């Protein structure tokens, strides 16, 4: 199986805001630094909202701008789309 380098994947995280993860959770990107397209970097920082019964937990994570949380594999924590609220 051939692995696509992260810098060859499409850019999903383009700005601070709310996104959808592969597992269906909401991710809030609160910091996004400029990304060097030649070097694999994880420059998007934020939290995933986890709903447990009557409580919401915020779980801190970092992502590559492609939405991947891990460099060599897909995960339910990967960001797959921007959430458009109220559109």
Is the pTM above the cut of 0.85? yes
Residues paired with 31 in a beta bridge: 45
Q: Is the residue at 44 inside a domain?
A: yes
Q: Would strands 26-32 and 79-82 be described as parallel, antiparallel, or unpaired?
A: unpaired
Q: Is the residue at 1 inside a domain?
A: no
Q: Is the residue at 87 inside a domain?
A: no
How many Å apart are CA 53 and CA 18, to the nearest integer?
22
Q: Is the pLDDT of residue 8 over 90?
A: no
What are φ and ψ of residue 24, in 5° steps? 95, 0
Q: Is the residue at 22 inside a domain?
A: yes
pLDDT one-digit tens code per residue, 29-85: 999 998 776 667 899 999 999 888 889 899 999 999 999 999 888 999 999 999 987
Q: How many domains does the chain have?
A: 1
Range of the domain at 18: 6-82
């Amino acid at each position: 199986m051939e692995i696509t380098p992260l810098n060859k994947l499409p850019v999903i995280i383009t700005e601070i805001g709310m996104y959808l993860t592969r597992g269906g959770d909401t991710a809030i990107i609160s910091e996004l630094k400029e990304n060097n397209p030649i070097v694999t970097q994880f420059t998007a920082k934020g939290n995933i909202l986890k709903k447990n019964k009557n409580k919401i937990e915020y779980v801190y994570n970092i992502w590559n701008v492609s939405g991947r949380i891990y460099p060599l594999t897909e995960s339910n924590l990967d960001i797959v789309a921007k959430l458009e609220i109220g559109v």
